[in-house]
Amino acid sequence: MNAKYSVLEKYFGYTSFLPHQEEIVDTVLAGRDVLAVMATGGGKSLCYQLPALVFGGLTVVVSPLIALMKDQVDGLRANGIPAATINSSLGRGEQKIIERVILEGRIRILYVSPERAVQPFFLSLLERADVRLIAIDEAHCISMWGHNFRPEYRRLQVLKERFPAVPVIALTATAIPAVQNDIAVQLALKNPVRFVGSFNRKNLTYRVVPKARYFPRLVAYLAEHPNDAGIIYCFSQKATEELAKKLQDKGFSALPYHAGLPDAVRAEHQEAFSRGDVAIICATVAFGMGIDKPDVRFVIHTDLPKDIESYYQETGRAGRDGEPGDCILFYSRGDYGTIRYVIEKEGGDAVQKDVAYRKAGAMLDYCETAGCRRKFLLAYFGESYPEERCGACDRCETEIRVFDGTEVASAVIACIRETGERFGASYVADVLTGSKNTRIRENGHDRLPAYGSGGGYTRDQWLLFIQEMVGKGFVTSTGGRYPVLVQNDRSREVLAGEIPVPLAEPRPEGVVAARVE
Ligand code: ADP
Ligand code: ZN
């Protein structure tokens, strides 16, 4: 019998492979370099653990989180696989013992941190050992285009230099095409075979709902899903505690979770949620790493996530068991200010900031898109969705009707022109709806013909129109940190009445909200 099947059954207890696993394992066993992009829960670990057992010798796994390494090692040992980790939490004595065991060939899989992996003494240890495979987990950390850049990952190239004959497998759950290329280049992979699994989570439903006065709507949703477990993500630690308290007062079973809580409390809340003793966890993004609760039925965001990668990863915690899951985002454009604040506070050089702003911009685009949310998410990850509509997002649930938006578009373009092509969508929408915003008054824009000329629609509806116009090329957005709307050739054709402008008919805002209620 083929070695890989017997190993699969004997050590892992599985009778079949998950999608892509077998091809990846075969390619690694053939000695090729591999870049594997698979959604969280897709079964990435097996893609190097199984070859490690077939190869014999030593497989080195670079992994960024000590806590996760420990879990992996414990899991492998429980299955009778000799595994170990070398990291900064070990004492000198322990480390010496592990080194000896490695040199004796008694460790099959060794987990190390990226910092450790490049240290000269460690590399020379590996040179004396029998290294057969190198796996780089969370490989997107190598790229500035990834959402979790770790400079020390950049130095991992040395592994390929020192062990040119050893195959390398790089694994990640999130990699836009630019990141994939970066991974291959930075790790100096030789002619790598790429496997990109689908990011489509068919059982999840995506909704974006206006955030204004959201609490009663949140309560209504929770009341309709009384037995469901779910995560509610908030931006600040304080907000998680306040929300948990407010929900408790309404009779819901809810607890907060954030990095500021004492370790014991945090662990207790996490376990209560995992066990099902508490239904709702109100958490910051600190919650989730290493959570393996299969029956999370909803993931709700009360604040705007900083980028699509984070949003995809966080919502990905719903419906791991394959049963339906709801992903609801309460959206206000005002939240962009908070993200801007965080980006500025986190510092970094100009390039890093620029990347962060672009990512935040894509998050706004997701919220404001007139099209299918799923299609948008998948396109972001470089995957095309074959249908125009998925049928399981707020944009697809009701028929999108197109109307002749020439008048609407002309109003937008006129407003852009009258305000001097110096402002973004929010400002333009404010002028159109006659907002009392002091900036508008200071600029004298309350005296323009455009001011208040768009009274027939709400500000949010104007934002949607503008978004769609940008998408369809009727006006141009400059992008960058403070995107500005400017006219282009097509804008002039619209004003001259030369081309029609089909736009998606706005829905009453109550309808969007009502669907969550
Ligand atoms: P990832 O690292 O891609 O998030 P994991 O390697 O943690 O995924 O695997 C996700 C889950 O799938 C784990 O619970 C694992 O035990 C399970 N799994 C992996 N391979 C198989 C398989 N061939 N058959 C059944 N379950 C599998
Ligand atoms: Zn859809």
Q: What ipTM does the predicted assembly reach?
A: 0.97
CB-ligand 1 contact for 46 (6 Å cutoff)? yes
Q: Read off the pLDDT of each residue in 255-273 and give the average, rounded to a whole number.
A: 95
**1-11 core/surface letters (b: 16 or more CB in 10 A; e: else):** eeebeebbeeb
The answer to whether residue 496 scores a pLDDT higher than 50 is: yes
Q: What's the pLDDT at 391?
A: 87
Q: Name the residues around ion ligand 2, CB cutoff 5 A.
A: 372, 374, 390, 393, 396
Residue 1, pLDDT above cutoff 60: no
Is ligand 1 within 6 A of the CB of residue 38? yes
For residues 134 and 111, give the distance between their C-alpha atoms in angstroms, rounded to a whole number.
10
User: Ligand 1 centroid vs 293 CA: distance in angstroms?
Assistant: 13
Share of the chain above pLDDT 70, in %: 97
For residue 1 the two structure tokens come to 């019998």
Q: Which residues contact 415 (CB under 8 A, 6 or more apart)?
A: 428, 431, 432, 448, 450, 453, 454
| Residue 45, phi then psi, degrees to nearest 5 | -55, -40
The string of pLDDT tens digits covering residues 382-427 is 888 888 889 899 988 866 678 899 999 999 999 999 999 999 999 9
Give the three-class secondary structure for 56. Answer: coil
- Total Cβ atoms within 10 A of residue 243: 20
Is 41's pLDDT higher than 80?
no
Distance, CA of 199 to CA of 38 (rounded, Å)? 7
Which amino acid would we find at residue 256? P
- Amino acid 260 reads G
Ligand minimally distant from the alpha carbon of residue 387: 2
What's residue 15's pLDDT?
A: 82
CB 131 within 8 A of CB 105: no
pLDDT tens-digit series, residues 62-121: 998 887 888 899 999 999 999 999 987 788 888 899 999 999 999 999 999 999 999 999
Q: What is the pLDDT of residue 330?
A: 96
Query: Ligand 2 center to residue 368 CA distance, Å?
Result: 13
Whether 41 lines ligand 1, by a CB cut-off of 6 Å, is yes
Edge-to-edge strand order for the sheet containing 83-86?
A: 83-86, 109-112, 58-62, 131-136, 168-172, 34-37, 193-196
pLDDT in tens, 342-374: 999 987 888 888 889 999 999 999 998 888 999
- Is the separation of the CB atoms in 312 and 442 below 8 Å? no
DSSP string, 247-290: HHHTT--EEEE-TTS-HHHHHHHHHHHHHTSSSEEEE-TTS-TT
Contact 53, 26 (CB under 8 A): no
Tell me what the mean pLDDT of segment 247-266 comes to: 96
Q: What is the pLDDT of residues 435-482, one digit of tens each?
A: 999 999 999 999 999 999 998 898 888 988 998 898 888 999 887 778
pLDDT at 433 over 80: yes
**For residue 486, what are its two tokens?**
């400017």
Buried b (16+ CB within 10 A) or exposed e, 248-282: eeeebbbbbbbeebeeeebebbbebbeeeebbbbb
pLDDT score, position 290 = 62
**Closest by alpha carbon to 137, among 35, 58, 52, 285?**
35
Instruction: Give the model's pLDDT for residue 508.
Output: 57
pLDDT (average), residues 14-33: 92
Nearest Cα residue to 475 out of 458, 495, 454 = 495
Distance 264 CA to ligand 1 centre (A): 29
- State mean pLDDT over 264-276: 94
Does residue 512 register a pLDDT over 60?
Answer: no
Residue 145 in this model has a pLDDT that exceeds 90: no
Contacts with 211 (C-beta within 8 Å, 6 or more apart), sequence order? 302, 330, 331, 332, 335
Cα–Cα distance, 386 to 390 (Å, whole number) = 9
Q: Which ligand gives the minimal distance to the CA of 75?
A: 1
Q: What is the percent of the chain with per-residue pLDDT over 90, rounded to a whole number?
A: 68
Inter-residue contact 381 to 309 (CB < 8 Å)? no
pLDDT of residue 516: 37
Query: How far is CA 55 from its chain centroid?
Result: 34
What local confidence, expressed as pLDDT, does residue 489 receive? 94
Is the pLDDT confidence value at 515 over 50? no
* Residues 6 or more apart whose Cβ sits within 8 Å of residue 350: none
Enter the pTM of the model. Answer: 0.68
Task: For residues 399 and 511, give the distance between their C-alpha atoms in angstroms, rounded to a whole number.
Answer: 13
Pairing of strands 502-504, 402-404: antiparallel
Confidence of residue 514 (pLDDT cuts 50, 70, 90): very low
Burial 354-372 (b: 16+ CB within 10 A, else e): bbbbebbbbbbbbbbbbbb
Nearest ligand atom owner, CA of 372? 2
Q: Is 288 in the pocket of ligand 1 (CB under 6 A)?
A: no
Predicted confidence band at 511 (pLDDT cuts at 50, 70, 90)? very low
Question: What is the atom index within ligand 1 of the atom nearest the CA of 14?
Answer: 24
Mean pLDDT score of the chain: 90
